[in-house]
Amino acid sequence: MSEQTVMIQNEEDTLLSRFPKVVRKDERKGYEGYVVEANALTDFARTLRDELGYDYLSSVTGVDYLPQGQMEVVYHAYKTTGGPALVFKVQVPRDNPVVPSLVPIYPGADFQEREAWDLLGIKFEGHPNLKRILLWEGFHGHPLRKDWREPYFEAEHKPYKSRFPEGKVFRAEERNPFGKNVDYPAGFDPAQWTPDNTNALIYEGLGRVEKASDDLPTEQIVVNLGPQHPSTHGVFRMVVTLDGETVVDLEPVMGYLHRNHEKIGERNTWLMNMPFTDRLDYLSPMSNNFGYALAVEKLLGVKPPERAEYIRVIMAELTRIQNHIFAIGMFLNDMGAYFTPSLYAIEERELILDVFEAVAGSRMMVNYFRFGGVARDIPEDVMKKIHDLAFERLPRRIDELDRYLTNSEIVRVRGEGVGVLTPEQAIAYSAAGPVLRASGVPYDVRRAEPYSIYDRFDFDVAVRYHGDVYDRYLIRMDEVRQSIRIIQQALQQIPEGPIMSGKPQYQHRVPAGESYGRVEGPKGELGFYVVSTGKGNPWRYHVRAPSFINLTALAEMTKGQKVADTVIILGSIDIVLGETDR
């Protein structure tokens, strides 16, 4: 037995002996982890965090097991020193799903529990602010429940029978006319509805608040930044309570771009979801493909051939480079350097997108990965272009960007010491990716739990220690350099050979079970939690979206800062609303 298996065995013994009767192993076929009784959850989580070192709660989500009449909450916890996940679940009756909240132990569960409440109707007892997060208050029902149906409902699963062989064409819009497709809860009238106290300030837009302390006879003021504000990178709102110019509190309001990606995913077949993942974080589609492919491949038990593995790594790292330089460019925009730096970044990004276009067929909506390989091989001339980029152009241009920005007094003065997140806070708030690593936590999924062939490459996990906005800028520079290193090695090692294992197929028999595939996306840990019942469609399809979860720490970072800095603090997290709102 290896050291790790011994350790896991010890953990298991500890947990099972410490919590007899209330904790048991999940024995369902294809499932892993522990099932915990709801009343023991808080103690169990505390033991995990304080005694076993699982200090990072990565993912919280719910699954509606309608036939069993159960709601299940699934937690994935990690050690920030690396290693596999510890999965634990709570099962509660479907008609009254109440689970104790883990926010007091893992503050990072905040938004994710709110999301589970919003979409699945699971109540988290003890949550400080349990209200809808992606949908609005006048929404009827919890859409991810299996018995919830959209206003225009055709069938439970795709493909729809109406398409073939008697395909009478119709426009969904005609059957689902605008204005008549909204369903309100009983007794709800949107014209009469007034938000309750806490929300009133948000909806008023600009409110005045009585101040608690009275050193100066001033009032606090509530300002809405967004939803349509150039600094919010999309339709996103920050409700900021200000005392003078200082931020007292901040609440992110999101969901304007919500389309219930997960419900769509559960209607889709396994393969159909691939192009939909492109549309999550549309700045890094290859990473999204990667995460989803890994999750489903784990269930299918297939492994891509060598060449496909290398192509995947090259594509994922190119994605990281273009995402990071674009993030840097846009971050400088937020700082007020209007578009000159971002155009410098876009120039390089364009070249990488040209590669994607030539290989996958589209610049952003790549739809390139398949279960057990990739869709197409890289043509000879494109390989040469990648070679030129990785060995010649990109290193030179990164150095130029470095000369241009890194020591600029403006960037430093505005960035240093602003929006600080300590390592303890970063871990507690489940921050991921550059946000976590800039706070001095060297946690990178590519190293912590290597997937694909990342264990073959020589690269450093970039880490910075101040946790401020400036370090989040620096760490992206560092990571671009490391990605270039990985691509250089991959280009030298890539073998010839097939790019698909087995024959390409569009109907997949996915064995029943659960699986969690995670990759280190450019924004942070991107996870896909899928549950299969052995049918042609996923029973549950959940995305652990780093853009969304990284926002949990936004309030903490902005408190005590000036209002002008909220803009660059948000910019330094690097969110994409397509992923945040899903």
- Residue 227, classified by CB atoms within 10 Å of its CB into exposed (0-12), middle (13-18) or buried (19+), is middle
State how beta strands 524-532 and 513-521 pair: antiparallel
H or E segment to which residue 415 belongs: helix 409-415
The residue among 18 and 393 lying less far from other proteins, judged by its C-beta, is: 393
Between 51 and 347, whose beta carbon lies closer to other proteins? Answer: 347
**Residue 234, by phi and psi: left (phi above 0), alpha (psi -120 to 50) or beta?**
left
Residue 403 engages other proteins in binding (rule: CB under 8 A): yes
- Lookup: tokens for 339: 């578009």
Nearer to other proteins, 76 or 385 (CB): 385
When the beta carbons of 227 and 275 are compared against other proteins, the nearer one is: 275
Closest to other proteins by CB, 127 or 385: 385
CB of 505 to other proteins, least distance (A): 8
Residue 393 lies near other proteins (rule: CB under 8 A): yes
Please state whether 161 falls in left (phi above 0), alpha (psi between -120 and 50) or beta. Answer: alpha
- Minimum Å distance from CB 269 to other proteins? 8
Give yes or no for residue 149 binding other proteins (CB under 8 A): no
Q: Is 488 in the site for other proteins (CB under 8 A)?
A: no
In this chain, which stretch among 181-189, 204-212, 254-262, 357-365 interacts with other proteins, using CB under 8 A?
357-365
Nearer to other proteins, 394 or 490 (CB): 394
DSSP 523: T
Q: How far apart are CA 35 and CA 71, in angstroms?
A: 12
Rounded to whole angstroms, the Cα distance separating 395 from 405 reads: 15
Regarding 506 and contact with other proteins (CB under 8 A), the answer is yes
- Rule CB under 8 A: say whether 404 interacts with other proteins: yes
Question: Is residue 474 part of the contact set for other proteins (CB under 8 A)?
Answer: no
Q: Which of 50, 347, 424, 460 binds other proteins (CB under 8 A)?
A: 347
For residues 377 and 499, the answer to whether their CB atoms sit within 8 Å is yes
The verdict on 504 binding other proteins (CB under 8 A) reads: yes
Task: Decide if residue 178 touches other proteins (CB under 8 A).
Answer: no
Would you say 262 or 556 has its CB closer to other proteins?
262
- The structure tokens listed for 104 are 């007091």
Q: Cβ 243 to other proteins, closest distance in Å? A: 29
Tokens 């007794």, residue located: 187
The answer to whether the CB of 526 falls within 8 A of the CB of 287 is yes
- Interface pick for other proteins out of 60, 321, 359, 421 (rule CB under 8 A): 359
Out of 165, 187, 217, 301, name the contact with other proteins by CB under 8 A: 165
Structure tokens at 276: 């939909």
User: At closest approach, how far in Å is the CB of 479 from other proteins?
Assistant: 21
CB of 73 vs other proteins, minimal distance in Å:
29
Residue 141, amino acid:
G
Cα torsion 435, 438, 439, 443: sign: positive
Q: Which stretch binds other proteins (CB under 8 A): 102-110, 164-172, 227-235, 565-573?
A: 164-172
Q: Residue 305 Cβ, how far from other proteins at the closest point, in Å?
A: 18
| Pairing assessment for the beta strands 207-209 and 123-125 based on DSSP bridges | unpaired
| Residue 31 tokens, joined | 């499932």
Q: What are residue 279's phi and psi, to 5 degrees?
A: -85, 5
Only one residue has tokens 């949107």, namely 190
Nearest CA to 529 out of 63, 97, 122 is that of: 63
Site for other proteins, residues 226 to 285, rule: CB under 8 A:
268-269, 271-276
- Residues numbered 67-96 forming contacts with other proteins, rule: CB under 8 A: none
**Out of 93, 126, 167, 560, the residue judged to bind other proteins by CB under 8 A:** 167
Q: From CA 188, how far away is CA 372, in angstroms rounded?
A: 49
CA dist 253 and 239 (Å) reads 7
CB of 178 to other proteins, least distance (A): 13
Candidates 80, 78, 101, 99; CA nearest to 90 is 99
Residue type, 228: Q
Whether 62 and 122 have beta carbons less than 8 Å apart is answered as yes
| Residue 336 binds to other proteins (criterion: CB under 8 A) | no
Q: Is 501 one of the binding residues for other proteins (CB under 8 A)? A: no
Report residue 499 as tokens: 């790019």
Q: How many residues bind other proteins (CB under 8 A)?
A: 58
Q: Looking at 225, 299, 300, 375, which residue binds other proteins (CB under 8 A)?
A: 375
Residue 303 as a binder of other proteins (CB under 8 A): the answer is no
Whether the Cβ atoms of residue 454 and residue 490 lie closer than 8 Å to each other: no
Task: Choose, by CB under 8 A, the member of 3, 27, 95, 168 that binds other proteins.
Answer: 168
Residue 526 pairs in a beta bridge with 519
Q: Using CB under 8 A, pick the residue from 340, 460, 465, 511 that binds other proteins.
A: 340
For other proteins, give the closer residue by CB, 133 or 375.
Answer: 375
Binding site residues, other proteins, CB under 8 A = 158-160, 162-169, 171-172, 268-269, 271-276, 340, 344, 347, 350-351, 354, 357-362, 365, 367, 375-376, 379, 385, 388-389, 392-393, 400, 403-413, 504, 506-507
